[in-house]
Amino acid sequence: MDLLSVNDRAGEYPRSYYADSAAHLDRFPAAAGDLDCDVCVVGGGFTGLSTAYHLAQRGYDVVLLEAQRVGFGASGRNGGQVARGQRRDQEDLEAMVGDTHARALWDIGCQATDLVRELCSKDEVHTEFHPGIVHTVHRARDHAHNHAYVAHMQDKYGDDKISLLSPEECREIVNSPAYHGGTLDMGAGHVNPLELALGLARLATKAGARIFEGAKVTAIDEGDPACVKTDDANIKARFVVMGCNGYLGTLQKHVAARVMPINNFIVSTKPMTPEAQNRIVRNNYAVADSKFVVNYFRFSEDHRLLFGGTESYGYRFPKDIAGAVRKPLAEIFPQLKDVEIDHAWGGTLGITMNRMPHFERIGGNILTMSGFSGSGVALATLSGQIAAETIAGQAERFDIMARVPTYPFPGGPKLRSPLLVLAMLWYSLRDKL
């Protein structure tokens, strides 16, 4: 099965709240014939679109190939949360790679959030950056760790944007009996992700990049120049940038062994009044909890609760997405157990074993960046800027990311899904206990 088509119709966005409300672009043409360029970008999500934009700004001749529509994949379907730092917290990273490398990773993660905020200020990007993410804990015993972590970030990193929330303060902001305190990060925020992707496409084309849709890549021949092939086109390029994430398929088996596709699901409710919204989550903050299968939620500009939760590890989405997500929604907000849902959709993202992105050079002139593990709004967008500067000769940030070890999933592509299902059952049981 092909993840690009198994759950969706060719050339069409999924019926999501984002797709139904977006300021859509006219369809870009399909690629045909023999094309030459400086850089061929594969994938029209945050990574690819940001790469095309930042390279075109530098004067490079860029061709971007998207198998479906720009923003079609996880970039246009996710929860819209723009977190700071990396997917793993700083104490984990210090143990994993040492203090100096961990500090550099923190700086890059903060630069990612700053970049999204900057992009959202541009006329071409039709979404605001709304500040504030609450990270809640679902077990009372974890509150002590929260206290220590906030002190660690304030003392060691000088972070003045993160603060501790007592259980009472957390309940005042997030009206749920499921949580026992948390943290508030005012350096983080949330956006409409599809509008961010479409805005990046506008910026890229305005800067001179050539975007093609319905252009599924079938093969990449390494060399100088490299040759990227679709059914109808051959593109010769000095450099290739891969931004496929969960939709990589078999294009790069070495990378696919380290980046596994999983599915996640979101619902949107009918619009509420501003007063009703404030009775659920105050101050228009986004929220993500500490469960291994994370529940995450925020409100849209028109006061709909956008609630994400549950995962699946096969190719096909469940038949009743709304029913699957309603269960965790009702656990977190019992007062919304009968709330009317008007959109329910799924998306495929890429995860790694250690939940850190996989950055790698292949053959000297092919860059691949994927496995953002749920933190792609910020980090995938920044990865495009990093790819552009790397091709231009400044590879410091790329090398900082690439030095983080990412390992193949046990069992390879055939066994990794069953093994992950077993692991997820264990973590689900641990969350309940």
- Report residue 413's pLDDT band, with 50, 70 and 90 as the boundaries: low
Check residue 58 and give its pLDDT.
98
Cβ–Cβ < 8 Å for 266, 277:
no
Q: Is the CB of residue 215 less than 8 Å from the CB of residue 19?
A: no
- Token look-up 């997405």 returns 321
The whole model's pTM is what?
Answer: 0.95
pLDDT for 5: 84
Angle at 97 between CA 94 and CA 98, to 5 degrees: 55
pLDDT tens-digit map of 182-194: 999 999 999 999 9
pLDDT above 90: percentage of residues in the chain: 84
pLDDT at 412: 59
How many secondary structure helices (H) and strands (E) does the chain include? 13, 17
- CA separation for the pair 15, 17 (Å, rounded): 7
Q: Given a cut of 70, is residue 418 above it in pLDDT?
A: no
Query: 315 pLDDT band (50/70/90 cuts)?
Result: confident
More confident residue, 37 or 247: 37
Exposure string (b/e) for 330-352, b if CB count within 10 Å is 16 or more?
A: eebbeebeebebebbbbbbbbbb
- Give 221 or 1, the one with higher predicted confidence: 221
Give the least confident one: 64-68, 280-284, 315-319, 329-333: 315-319
Mean pLDDT, to the nearest integer, of 45-63?
98
Q: What is the mean pLDDT of residues 236-253?
A: 92
Q: What is the DSSP letter of 174?
A: B
How does pLDDT run across 385-408, given as a tens digit for each residue? Answer: 999 999 999 999 999 999 999 998
A 10 A CB-CB count for 23 gives: 11
Mean pLDDT of the chain: 93
Determine the Cα–Cα distance for residues 261 and 433; give it in Å rounded to an integer: 28
Residue 360, SS3?
Answer: strand
Is the pLDDT reported for residue 314 higher than 80? no
Q: CB-based contacts of 320: which residues, under 8 Å, 6+ apart?
A: none
Q: Which two structure tokens, joined as six digits, stand for 265?
A: 């699901």
- Please check whether residue 130 is in contact with residue 282, taking contact to mean a CB–CB distance below 8 angstroms: no
pLDDT at 37 over 80: yes
d(CA 226, CA 208): 21
DSSP string, 195-222: HHHHHHHHHHHHHT-EEEES--EEEEE-
Amino acid 420: pLDDT: 56
pLDDT for residue 12: 94
Looking at residue 254, its pLDDT comes to 87
Distance CA 310, CA 294 (A): 8
pLDDT value, residue 433 = 52
**pLDDT of residue 422 exceeding 80:** no
- pLDDT value for 119: 98
pLDDT tens per residue, range 119-168: 999 999 999 999 999 999 999 998 889 999 999 999 999 999 999 999 99
Which percentage of the chain shows pLDDT scores above 70?
94
Per-residue model confidence (pLDDT) at position 246: 87
Q: How many CB atoms lie within 10 A of CB 322?
A: 16
